[in-house]
Amino acid sequence: MQKIKHIGLFTSGGDAPGMNACIRAVVRTALYNGLFVTGIHEGYQGMLDNKLEPMNSRSVSNIIQLGGTILKTARCKEFRTLEGRKRAYANIMAAGIDALVAIGGDGTFTGAEIFSREFNIPVIGIPGTIDNDLYGTDFTLGFDTAANTVIEAIDKIRDTAAAHDRLFFVEVMGRDSGCIALNAGIAGGAEAILLPERSTALEELIKQLENASGKKTSTIVIVAEGEENGGAYNVAKHVKDHFDFYDTKVTILGHLQRGGAPSSFDRVLASRLGFAAVNQLLEGNTRIMVGLRGNMIKTTSLEESLNNKEFKLADDMMTMCNILSI
């Protein structure tokens, strides 16, 4: 086993609060262990464009509390081709990088897994996405912050909904994952939740809302953007004629869910995962993701994490949410 000397670190895919805290942890753990660190700006695109920056302890001063990512992030089509990956490899070899730490979601890990196999370069993945949709970790970086941002918005919407007898459809992020929607629904006391992973007949939803109406001064339905009826506007259009006594409104929370200072939970998780990622490389491990399971740092092979699409949302949570909103 050849000892690694120089880590290339990047963030890729969707940005998530906590990425900066994680960058800080990787850089400082690596420096402590006598390694060099190069920050690769804009993910795989930066590898292709040679956007490389040597990092020291001061490069990551004062960033633990910042949302976004100081290394920037990007989506890169060219990296999906062998030609593109060859060019990326040549660039990082020329910079002396002999191992990679990738912070991102499943797309990022797919690229990292392929790249690592093709060019035999060690790589560790750190789950960074607000979607909380990766197998092998109870939480991904950014989910807790995004969930708290959403709940703050829903609390405000509840105030105005109650003041005017309004029926609100609130659309939250989640093209394929309903984690944010489910969490928001439970924590915000929603009357109904629509998830991408579940089929919801609109007739069922109407029945559910009819049961709630008359008893309540406000009704909130949380709609994940990727649910099958086409999002909050479409659902509201179909449902609103049944509830003419309500003033029906739609709010799309959009990108504000991605920004903001990371929560205490995300900062600690980011620090633990960044620290663990460097230690895994030092132990000679590769093609694994570091994650949190039962409050312990655990590793899962990238392959297993990518292939296992085990449904993360427990059915009992949906049932509980319905019961608690009667």
111 is a contact residue toward ligand ATP (CB under 6 A): yes
DSSP helix, strand, coil percent of the chain (3-state; round to 5)? 45, 20, 35
Q: Known catalytic residue: 316?
A: no
Question: Which amino acid is located at 177 in the chain?
Answer: S
Are the CB atoms for 209 and 200 separated by under 8 Å?
Answer: no
Nearer to ligand ATP, 132 or 325 (CB): 132
Nearer to ligand ATP, 76 or 99 (CB): 76
Please give the structure tokens belonging to residue 145: 């912050």
The contacts of residue 260 (CB under 8 Å, 6+ apart) are 17, 67, 145, 149
75 binds ligand ATP (CB under 6 A): yes
- Least Å distance, CB 139 to ligand ATP, is 14
Q: 36 vs 79, which CB is nearer to ligand ATP?
A: 79
Report if residue 86 touches ligand ATP, rule: CB under 6 A: no
Contact between 107 and ligand ATP per CB under 6 A: yes
Stretch of residues binding ligand ATP (CB under 6 A), selected from 6-14, 148-156, 228-236, 317-325: 6-14
Residue 82 CB neighbours (<10 A) = 10
**131 part of the interface to ligand ATP, by CB under 6 A:** yes
Between 12 and 91, whose beta carbon lies closer to ligand ATP?
Answer: 12
Judged by CB under 6 A, the residue of 8, 14, 17, 196 near ligand ATP is: 14
Query: Which residue, 26 or 35, has its beta carbon nearer to ligand ATP?
Result: 26
**In the set 71, 76, 88, 170, which binds ligand ATP (CB under 6 A)?**
76
CA angle 258, 64, 282 (to 5 degrees): 105
CA dist 315 and 42 (Å) reads 38
Using an 8 Å Cβ cutoff, are 279 and 30 in contact? no
Give the H or E element holding residue 177.
none
Q: Which is nearer to ligand ATP, 79 or 275 (CB)?
A: 79
Among 19, 30, 55, 79, binds ligand ATP (CB under 6 A): 79
Cβ atoms of 206 and 229 within 8 Å: the answer is no
Residue nearest ligand ATP by beta-carbon distance: 107
Closest Cα partner for 232 from 190, 291, 280? 190
Which residues are CB-contacts of 224 (< 8 A; sequence separation ≥ 6)?
171, 172, 173, 174, 177, 178, 180, 181, 193, 194, 195, 196
Query: Segment near ligand ATP (CB under 6 A), from 11-19, 59-67, 181-189, 233-241?
Result: 11-19
As a whole number of angstroms, the distance between CA 241 and CA 115 comes to 53
- Which of 131, 133, 144, 266 is catalytic? The answer is 131
**Binding to ligand ATP, residues 87-106 (CB under 6 A):** 104-106
Query: Which residue in 3, 5, 80, 309 binds ligand ATP (CB under 6 A)?
Result: 80
- Which residue in the set 8, 9, 12, 173 belongs to the binding site for ligand ATP (CB under 6 A)? 12
12 SS3 class:
coil
* E strand map for 12-116: 36-40, 52-55, 99-104
What is the contact surface with ligand ATP in residues (CB under 6 A)? 12-14, 44, 75-76, 79-80, 104-108, 110-111, 114, 129, 131
* Active site residues per annotation: 131
